[in-house]
């Protein structure tokens, strides 16, 4: 009798929790920002402002919308499972071969693929203390060990950000993956070229380093490098990107990674067929061509960032400087009651107690009107 059969019989039947693989037992799923419709149902409010999920408040490129609309007549057909055209355009963008590109249903899909391909019981993944929640989830689901490296202190130039020296020192013979977000969610902190290169130079060849550049477009003027140009020098490097942030395509889910062809080949063995749908393929390719929209979005974000910083300064609230499209705000008190009062006023932000920051809120940069609405609601909610 197998262990599985024995376990099932001892339970007197089927208990899915006990039958689940070890990595999934006790796993807490990723919690997205509260949807507008949910807040309207729960609180009976209308005219809701959502500043919780780091979406682009300026919407989507009109060219991307037109391209997706043109696909509607052919929705009865499966999409191109290999994403030939989009992969070609992404290869041009990054100066690599199409064989280096792996498409995902959002960049989360690629991050999960990396864990599925390279982690298992007995292996380890390293990430920073205040990292994107998907890294520990994917690690645990794969049954691997998480090595969580303490982040920088609040007095550091990049408070709560990555301590790359400590992360390099944590690497051992069991380490298979290292996750580094640049810039980082939820802190907004970033790493510059010199320190990233010093880190990569220390990483042994058997360890794959994942640089998550989901917020790359917002970080260019802050000194965060385009690491995708380093693939030839670092064959163990994977760079992930998304169309969900600056490109505004969060609703159709499309992301990707660039890596050596060998790593991409491994990922594509496990990548699900048709994981990027026809609308997403068409929209992403058109969005990629409309860099004027990206420039306007980045400029609007910079203006909104300054508007929020000024307002937060007036409220006497501290925050972490950010290279993203959000600010991490320190309330210096339990954040949940303040968050509750904000929701009662029709404003959704992101509490980050699940990241180990119970006194902080993460606030997406919105339009000028949305930012004013947030600041007014926050002033009322702090009383």
Domains, the chain, with CATH or none:
27-59+292-381 (3.90.1150.10), 62-289 (3.40.640.10)
pLDDT the model gives residue 19: 76
Please, which pLDDT band fits residue 121 given cuts at 50, 70 and 90?
very high
- In tens, the pLDDT along 188-212 reads 999 999 999 999 999 999 999 999 9
Say how far residue 64 (Cα) sits from the centre of its chain. Answer: 22
CA distance readout (Å), 53 to 36, 252, 351: 11, 15, 11
Name the maximum alpha-carbon separation found in the chain: 69
- Report the pLDDT value the prediction gives residue 43, as an integer from 0 to 100: 86
Q: Quote the pLDDT of residue 341.
A: 96
Retrieve residue 210's tokens: 């994942």
pLDDT digits (tens, 9 = 90+) for 70-79: 999 999 999 9
Position 288 pLDDT exceeds 90: yes
In this prediction, residues 172-180 reach a mean pLDDT of 98
Closest CA to 200 of 222, 152, 173, 232: 232
Give, to the nearest 10 degrees, the angle between helix 278-289 and helix 291-314: 80
pLDDT at 74 (0 to 100):
96
3-state SS class at 165: helix
The predicted pLDDT at position 69 comes to 98
Q: Look at residue 4 in the predicted model and tell me its pLDDT.
A: 55
Q: Which residue has the tokens 């052919």?
A: 74
Segment among 30-44, 115-129, 137-151, 320-334 with least mean pLDDT: 30-44
**376 band by pLDDT with thresholds 50, 70 and 90:** very high
* Residue 231 predicted with pLDDT over 60: yes
Report whether 187 contacts 166 (CB < 8 A): no
Buried b / exposed e across 312-344, counting CB within 10 Å, b at 16+? beeeebebbbbbbbbbbbbbeeebeebbebbbe
Residue from 215, 260, 256 nearest 236 by CA:
260
Give the CA distances from residue 108 to residues 115, 138, 244, 350, in Å, rounded to whole numbers and listed in that order. 11, 10, 11, 19
Q: Which residues contact 88 (CB under 8 A, 6 or more apart)?
A: 98
Distance, in Å, from the CA atom of 103 to the CA atom of 275, rounded to the nearest integer, reads: 8
Closest by CA to 365, choosing from 356, 374, 357, 353, is 374
Q: Is 220 left (phi over 0), alpha (psi -120 to 50) or beta?
A: alpha
Is the pTM above the cut of 0.95? no
26 token code pair: 């006790």
pLDDT score of 10 more than 60: no
CA–CA separation, 345 vs 354, rounded Å?
23
At residue 17, the pLDDT reads 74
Closest CA to 58 of 314, 358, 274, 304: 304
CA angle 378, 381, 383 (to 5 degrees): 120
Q: Above pLDDT 70, what percent of the chain?
A: 95
Residue 244 has what DSSP assignment? S
d(CA 367, CA 18): 47
Vertex 111: Cα angle to 187 and 75 (nearest 5): 115
Strands 49-50 and 347-348 come out as: parallel
Say which residues have a Cβ less than 8 Å from residue 14's Cβ, sequence separation at least 6: 8
Q: Supply the pLDDT for residue 6.
A: 53
* Helices of type H across 213-359: 216-219, 261-270, 278-289, 291-314, 335-344
- When the pLDDT of each residue in the chain is averaged and rounded to a whole number, the result is 94
The pLDDT-based confidence of 3 (bands split at 50, 70, 90) is low
């Amino acid at each position: 009798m197998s262990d599985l059969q024995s376990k099932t019989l001892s339970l007197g039947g089927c208990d899915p929790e006990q039958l689940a693989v070890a990595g999934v037992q006790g796993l807490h799923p990723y919690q997205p920002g509260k949807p507008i419709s949910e807040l309207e149902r729960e609180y009976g409010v209308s005219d809701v402002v959502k500043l919780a999920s780091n979406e682009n408040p300026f919407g989507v490129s009109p060219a991307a919308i037109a391209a997706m609309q043109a696909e509607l007549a052919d929705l009865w057909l499966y999409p191109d499972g290999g994403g030939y055209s989009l992969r070609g355009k992404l290869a041009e963008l990054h100066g690599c071969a199409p064989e280096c590109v792996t498409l995902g249903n959002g960049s989360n899909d690629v991050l999960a693929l990396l864990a599925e391909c390279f982690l298992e019981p007995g292996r380890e993944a390293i990430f920073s203390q205040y990292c994107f929640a998907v890294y520990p989830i994917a690690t645990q689901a794969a049954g691997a060990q998480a090595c969580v490296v303490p982040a920088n202190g609040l007095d550091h130039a990049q408070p709560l950000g990555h301590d790359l020296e400590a992360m390099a020192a944590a690497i051992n013979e069991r380490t298979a993956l290292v996750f580094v977000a640049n810039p980082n969610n939820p802190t907004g902190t970033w790493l510059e070229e010199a320190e990233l290169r010093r880190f990569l130079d220390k990483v042994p060849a058997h360890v794959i380093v994942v640089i998550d550049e989901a917020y790359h477009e917002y970080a260019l003027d802050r000194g965060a490098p385009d690491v995708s140009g380093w693939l030839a020098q670092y064959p163990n490097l994977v760079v992930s990107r998304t169309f969900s942030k600056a490109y505004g395509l969060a609703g159709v889910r499309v992301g990707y990674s660039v890596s050596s062809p060998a790593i991409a080949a491994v990922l594509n063995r496990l990548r699900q067929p048709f994981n990027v749908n026809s609308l997403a393929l068409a929209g992403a390719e058109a969005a990629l061509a409309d860099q004027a929209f990206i420039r306007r979005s980045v400029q609007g974000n910079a203006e909104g960032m300054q508007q929020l910083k000024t307002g937060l300064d007036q409220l006497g609230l501290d925050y972490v400087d950010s290279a993203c499209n959000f600010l991490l705000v320190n309330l210096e008190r339990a954040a949940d009651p303040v968050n509750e009062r904000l929701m009662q006023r029709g404003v959704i932000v992101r509490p980050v107690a699940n990241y180990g920051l119970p006194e902080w809120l993460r606030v997406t940069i919105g339009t000028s009107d949305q930012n004013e609405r947030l600041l007014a609601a926050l002033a009322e909610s702090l009383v």
